[in-house]
Amino acid sequence: MVDGAFDIVGLGVATVDDFIVVPEYPERNSKHPVVGTARQGGGLTATALVAAARLGCRTAQLIGLGQNELSRFLRQSLAREGIALFENPDARDAEPFHSVIISEASTGERSILWDDRKTTPPRIGAAERQLLLSAGCLFVDHVFAHAIIDAVKEAKNAGVPVVGDFERSNDASLPLMDLTDHIILPLAYAVSLTGADGPDQAVRALMRTPGRSLACVTDSERGSWYAFADDLPGKVRRQYAFRARKVVDTTGCGDVFHGAYAAGLVKGLPPGERVRRASAAAALKAEKQGAQSGAPTLEELEAFLREA
């Protein structure tokens, strides 16, 4: 990594999340009290970058924000985390993704309602391409795949590793997924994507992509399964989930897992240790409300691993 470069540069989505906490999830055509509300930053890539920044990484995100309340909130919240923002100068009328998240207090489970009608993808000009080429790794998701794929391909060809978080497929996300060196998918999506029968087969199918370094499939409290290129051919390993001391909110657990994994990658940790630390970080996140507020610091993660 060149002097002054960032450890991780993100090219995906950032959101503003408005949380509504209810005692129990409401039935249709019913009325329920609210026991808590909060506004936080969220989004697959932005939350992963927050998690990595709290674990000691220098992070940056290419982003399209405008001059409005939601943009100002997101700009300030990411800046507080030390994430450098490289904004699209043509996005003055843009708004970030805006999500309303209904969270059930008794279980921590949630439903997400999102609005992307005014979003703008990041701009990638000559200066931004140089930023990507000097990064320790790139972090991508499916949201702006059409706008970033050419730049990601250029960086990958130059030897920059790519970590990916994908939740759904579109015409651009599938080719971007093929460029992803380190891919971590939730089990349900991995199975639907590959046609596999269970996590082991899904991991093996994902590892068939030429040049892939690691594939990992996660399944909440059941843990994760992974394989990596330098291991025995066809071998799939399992990382059991760490137990949260109290589950408050599961929003963002997967994103924190991704960010902690990327942090381990740029720090040179072996694959099993990256997955282990990512699993622990996700468990810690579940103990707090919101996607980003629960991402642990390095000190909190080390203490949790010692206790576990």
**Nearest residue to 40 via CA among 117, 125, 119, 103:** 103
Residue 228 lies in a domain: no
pLDDT number for residue 106? 84
Average pLDDT taken over every residue of the chain? 94
Residue 93 lies in a domain: yes
Torsion sign over Cα 40, 46, 47, 52: negative
pLDDT number for residue 109? 84
| Amino acid in the structure at residue 119 | T
Q: What are residue 302's phi and psi, to 5 degrees? A: -65, -40
Residue pointed to by tokens 């009290």: 33
| pLDDT tens, residue by residue, 23-37 | 998 888 999 899 999
Range of the domain at 111: 8-24+34-180+242-307
pLDDT number for residue 107? 86
Residue 215 lies in a domain: no
| pLDDT tens, residue by residue, 280-300 | 999 999 999 888 989 999 999
Strands (E), the chain: 8-10, 15-22, 36-42, 59-63, 84-87, 97-104, 110-115, 137-141, 162-165, 182-186, 214-218, 224-228, 237-239
CA distance 88 to 121: 8
Distance of CA 292 to the CA centre of its chain: 11
Is the pTM value of this prediction over 0.85?
Answer: yes
| pLDDT tens, residue by residue, 49-67 | 999 999 999 999 999 999 9
Residues in the chain: 308
Residue 1 lies in a domain: no
Burial of 121: CB neighbours in 10 Å, binned 0-12, 13-18, 19+: buried
Is pLDDT of 70 > 80?
yes
User: Please, which pLDDT band fits residue 96 given cuts at 50, 70 and 90?
Assistant: very high
Identify the CATH number of the domain in which residue 121 sits: 3.40.1190.20
Residue 210 lies in a domain: no
| Residue 105 burial (CB count, 10 A) | 15
pLDDT number for residue 105? 87
pLDDT number for residue 4? 54
Residue 201 lies in a domain: no
First to last CA, the chain: 34
User: Please, which pLDDT band fits residue 3 given cuts at 50, 70 and 90?
Assistant: very low
> Structural domain tally of the chain?
1
Over residues 118-144, mean pLDDT: 96
Residue 211 lies in a domain: no
| pLDDT tens, residue by residue, 151-191 | 999 999 999 999 999 998 888 999 999 999 999 999 999 99
Residue 217 lies in a domain: no
